[in-house]
Amino acid sequence: MTNKTINGLTGATTPLAGTEEVPIWDGASKKVTVANLTAGRAISALTVSASGAITTTGATGSASANKASLSYDGAGNGVFLQSYGPDAATNGVMYLRTLRSDGSNAVNALAITGAGAVTTGGPLTVTGAVNGLTVGLGGGSVATNTAVGTSALAANTTGPRHVAVGYQALFTNTNSADVTAIGYRAGYTMNGANGGTFVGSDAGQLATGAYNTCFGVRTGKVISSGTGNTFVGASTATGDGAGAAVTTGSNNVILGGYAGTAALSGNIILSDGSGNIKAQYDGTLWTLTDAVKHTTGISVGGATPGAGGIAFPATAVAVADPNTLDDYEEGTWTPTLNGWTNVGTPTVTATYTKIGRLVFFTIEIAPATSIATTVVTSTVTNLPFAVGKNVAVLLADASNAAVVYSPALMNTAAGGTIYVPTIGPTADYLEICGTYFV
């Protein structure tokens, strides 16, 4: 051919077929076909530039199937890495693969499917932040820990089984175990003691004692060496949480906004949202600050409460305090009529009410035909409780109000014997009533 400069050559308008020849100097001039330029040799480049897409053709040789491309859309939207599926109905799958230097041991470290799902070939480790949020295992990279948030669990070295979520949650912990802290600086100084749950901004911020549970903003905020506390709630009046003033106190339960005191221990406290105590158990007694309405019965002395009223035990639990009511009882009993002259067997009904030491009793006597008594020799015995001191006994004719009898007499020395005056014979209904102290 005629010698020409490169600029004078006609440009190719179709892809090269591979049979074209170019001159090569290898100590002497040679001609080499285009197909043989790279035969058996790898090609490397520091930079690849393209005005359109860089595309790899799939194994089928199709121009549109089983291929990948890297392109820039030209509209300012960025660069696209694309994977084409095998047909018009199937999306491609894109893999990020790791290999050894010899190309062996290929591992699909990351796969993105056509549905947008991302799977990994093993645990996904993120170092740094995800959308500005720090996610990881915290200091010491202990596998059983979870840390989410700036400086969460930052100082940890060996402490296991922690969950720290929030800015500086469990910040100073190094070696304690089994602590959950969720919220701004929750459990900030917790270190050395095991067990604890802190949920809320500044919840348990200065806690160092074991097994404290704090739910709510600034609950247990300054508790230090105290242990076994449960604080739930916050005060609308102060903005502090339940137990916010407790430092060395232990074994408390506080519900509501009550802040407590530094050394408060062994208390159960129910308070309102402003921190006012409504009910408190101090380890010995319950104290209620307001009236109590019971929709069912209540009981004392271990008795079983009923549907209403106050239930006392069947056997009184005596209390030395003279201002304490320790017994109440209602019932019936069978008195004994001694020295009475009866025609037929009378019907005798007896009831009593005992309030503390005081006994009220009533004996109703209905003659079958008639009854008669003689002063001194006619008596009534077998009262419901032993008599301690006489009070009064009355005898009345319940059938005829115009008939009046002298009062009956009770003799304590004779074991509570009731002496009745001379009566009848009469068919009238008689009633004996009285009171005495046991």
What is the C-alpha radius of gyration for the chain, rounded to an integer number of angstroms?
50
The distance of Cα 117 from the centroid of its chain, to the nearest Å, equals 36
What is the tens place of the pLDDT at every residue in 172-226? 999 999 999 999 999 999 988 999 999 999 999 999 999 999 999 999 999 999 9
Q: How far apart are CA 181 and CA 254, in angstroms?
A: 19
What is the tens place of the pLDDT at every residue in 78-107? 666 777 777 777 787 777 777 777 767 777
What is the tens place of the pLDDT at every residue in 275-287? 999 999 999 999 9
Predicted local distance difference test score (pLDDT) of residue 3: 60
Predicted local distance difference test score (pLDDT) of residue 416: 80
Query: Hey, what domains does the chain have and what are their CATH numbers?
Result: 64-99+107-121 (no CATH), 331-437 (2.60.40)
Per-residue pLDDT band for 418 (boundaries 50, 70, 90) equals: confident
Report angle CA 287, 290, 296 to the nearest 5 degrees. Answer: 90
Q: How far apart are CA 296 and CA 270, in angstroms?
A: 22
Q: Say which residues have a Cβ less than 8 Å from residue 395's Cβ, sequence separation at least 6.
A: 405, 406, 407, 408, 420, 421, 423, 430, 431, 432
Predicted local distance difference test score (pLDDT) of residue 61: 47
- DSSP summary character for residue 312: -
**Residue 430 pairs with which residues in a beta bridge?**
365, 397
The answer, yes or no, to whether the previous bond of 425 is cis (omega within 30 of 0) is yes
Q: Are the C-beta atoms of 328 and 310 separated by less than 8 Å?
A: yes
29 is written with which tokens? 């001039």
Predicted local distance difference test score (pLDDT) of residue 412: 66
Is pLDDT larger for residue 2 or for residue 164? 164
Per-residue pLDDT band for 270 (boundaries 50, 70, 90) equals: very high
Q: Strands 54-56 and 29-33, how do they pair?
A: unpaired
What is the tens place of the pLDDT at every residue in 106-127? 776 667 776 666 676 666 665 5
- Residue 284 to residues 287, 305, 425, Cα–Cα distance (Å): 10, 22, 63
Q: Say which residues have a Cβ less than 8 Å from residue 280's Cβ, sequence separation at least 6.
A: 267, 268, 269, 270, 286, 287
- Residue 203 to residues 78, 133, 151, 188, 191, Cα–Cα distance (Å): 45, 21, 17, 9, 15
Q: How far apart are CA 344 and CA 327, in angstroms?
A: 39
Predicted local distance difference test score (pLDDT) of residue 72: 63
Predicted local distance difference test score (pLDDT) of residue 11: 65
What is the tens place of the pLDDT at every residue in 400-411? 776 667 667 777
289 is written with which tokens? 């600050």
Q: How far apart are CA 204 and CA 221, in angstroms?
A: 4
Predicted local distance difference test score (pLDDT) of residue 81: 73
